[in-house]
């Protein structure tokens, strides 16, 4: 038989390996974006600190609901805390070639995204640390809410009422982008504080898993303790916005919200500065103690050498 011709040979070991490989591939579930079964790291921290984060997220969700409720129920009549509606309106305006509307809705979308860019630049790392510059972002958000109120109620020359309110809504959208990026960075996009679409989707998924796939539902049950408070807080923010608008007749409540955010941000910044000093003193003390011990050991060795 020519050397270049070879007959197929049967090898039981190879066949068994191929069968095992085929079975393992059949049992494997492939997903485009793998979702971890375990909670993110910030959920596994001590219960007390975890609930502080949920309370902080619920507070921001209340603020987000208030801002969005104010811009919808007020004179402007357009949401600013998310970009879904603005993106749809942008598409409609592009088809109808309405130049002023195109500029307005494109500005709302871009401002929200730019807020995330600025927040990411200020906060930095994705991991949660109390030493991050969250306070700076909150104070910056407060300033832009004041700017939003000022633009909505200032009769600028050669601008017109609609354009001044539109520009104010752009500042409010930027403020919402700043806020939403704070919790998004450290929670792995689990905590969102300016819109509820993802919250309701995840709540529905978990309920469905609990009802029909109990083992899987138990794994993700922790999400309800996070998403439900966030959603309820957002709805309450909208309720407060309506009551505030009926009481004052305008968006004056934005100034109150801005004040609360500024005080919260300033408090965190002061705490961060104080904590940095404490850490620095502790590190200096540890460094001094380590070098003092090393100096004493060296001095003792020198004395022993002299005695010898």
For residue 62, give the nearest of 251, 260, 249, 268 by alpha carbon: 260
Residue 252: burial class (beta carbons within 10 Å; 0-12, 13-18, 19+): middle
Question: Is-contact 207 34, C-beta < 8 A?
Answer: no
3-state secondary structure 21-69: HHHHHHHCCCCCCCCCCCCCHHHHCCHHHHHHHHHHHHHHHHHHHHHHH
Question: Is domain 41-283 in CATH 1.25.40, yes or no?
Answer: no
- Prediction pTM value: 0.71
Tokens representing residue 72 in the block: 């919808």
* Least confident interval from 113-117, 136-140, 150-154, 260-264: 150-154
Average pLDDT rounded to a whole number, residues 202-217: 85
Residues 96-118: tens digit of each pLDDT: 888 778 888 898 999 999 998 99
Q: Label residue 233 by pLDDT band (50, 70, 90).
A: very high
Reported confidence tier of residue 89, pLDDT bands at 50, 70, 90: confident
Helix (H/G/I), strand (E/B), else coil: 74? coil
DSSP state of 223: G
Give the pLDDT of residue 195. 87
Per-residue confidence (pLDDT) for residue 63, from 0 to 100: 94
Mean pLDDT comparison of 76-80, 95-99, 165-169, 280-284, highest-scoring range? 95-99
In the prediction, which pLDDT does 59 show? Answer: 92
Confidence tier at 172 by pLDDT (50, 70, 90) = very high
pLDDT above 70: percentage of residues in the chain: 64
Q: Is the pLDDT of residue 17 over 90?
A: no
Q: Where are the domains of the chain?
A: 41-283
Residue burial 65-95, b: 16+ Cβ < 10 Å; e: rest: bbbbbbbbbbebebbbbbbeebeebbeebee
179's tokens:
């806020």
Q: What is the pLDDT of residue 191?
A: 77
Q: Is the pLDDT of residue 22 over 70?
A: no
Is the model more confident about 35 or about 267?
A: 267
Maximum mean pLDDT: which of 19-23, 59-63, 151-155: 59-63
**Which percentage of the chain shows pLDDT scores above 90?**
23
- Is pLDDT at 75 greater than 60 in this prediction? yes
Distance CA 192, CA 197 (A): 10
pLDDT digits (tens, 9 = 90+) for 182-209: 877 766 556 788 888 888 988 898 899 8
Question: How confident is the prediction for the chain on average, in pLDDT?
Answer: 75
Instruction: Give the residue-averaged pLDDT of 70-99.
Output: 85
Q: What is the rounded CA–CA span in Å between residue 87 and residue 257?
A: 26
* Residue 292 dihedral angles phi and psi, to the nearest 5°: -65, -40
Residue 39's CB is within 10 A of a number of other CB atoms, namely 16
Residue 36's pLDDT is 45
pLDDT digits (tens, 9 = 90+) for 30-55: 434 444 445 555 555 555 667 778 88
């Amino acid at each position: 038989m020519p050397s270049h011709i070879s007959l197929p040979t049967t090898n039981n070991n190879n066949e068994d390996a191929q069968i095992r490989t085929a079975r393992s591939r059949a049992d494997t579930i492939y997903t485009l974006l793998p979702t971890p079964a375990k909670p993110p790291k910030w959920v596994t921290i001590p219960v007390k600190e975890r609930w502080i984060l949920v309370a902080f997220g619920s507070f921001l969700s209340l603020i987000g609901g208030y801002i969005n409720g104010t811009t919808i129920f007020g004179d402007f009549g357009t949401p600013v805390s998310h970009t879904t509606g603005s993106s749809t309106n942008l598409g409609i305006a592009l088809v109808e070639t309405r130049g002023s509307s195109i500029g307005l809705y494109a500005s709302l979308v871009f401002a929200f995204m730019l807020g995330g860019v600025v927040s990411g630049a200020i906060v930095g790392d994705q991991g949660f640390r109390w030493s991050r510059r969250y306070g700076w972002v909150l104070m910056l958000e407060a300033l832009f809410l004041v700017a939003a109120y000022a633009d909505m109620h200032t009769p600028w020359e050669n601008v017109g009422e609609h354009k001044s309110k539109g520009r104010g809504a752009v500042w409010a959208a930027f403020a919402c982008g700043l806020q939403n990026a704070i919790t998004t960075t450290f929670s792995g996009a689990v905590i969102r504080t300016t819109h509820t679409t993802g919250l309701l989707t995840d709540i529905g998924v978990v309920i469905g898993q609990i009802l029909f796939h109990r083992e899987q539902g138990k794994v993700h049950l922790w999400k309800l303790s996070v998403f439900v408070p966030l959603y309820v807080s957002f709805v309450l923010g909208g309720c407060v916005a309506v009551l505030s608008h009926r009481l004052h007749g305008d968006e004056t409540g934005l100034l109150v919200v801005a004040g609360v955010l500024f005080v919260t941000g300033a408090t965190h910044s002061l705490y961060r500065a104080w904590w940095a000093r404490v850490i620095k003193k502790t590190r200096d003390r540890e460094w001094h103690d380590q070098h003092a011990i090393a100096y004493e050991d060296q001095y003792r060795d020198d004395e022993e050498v002299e005695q010898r």
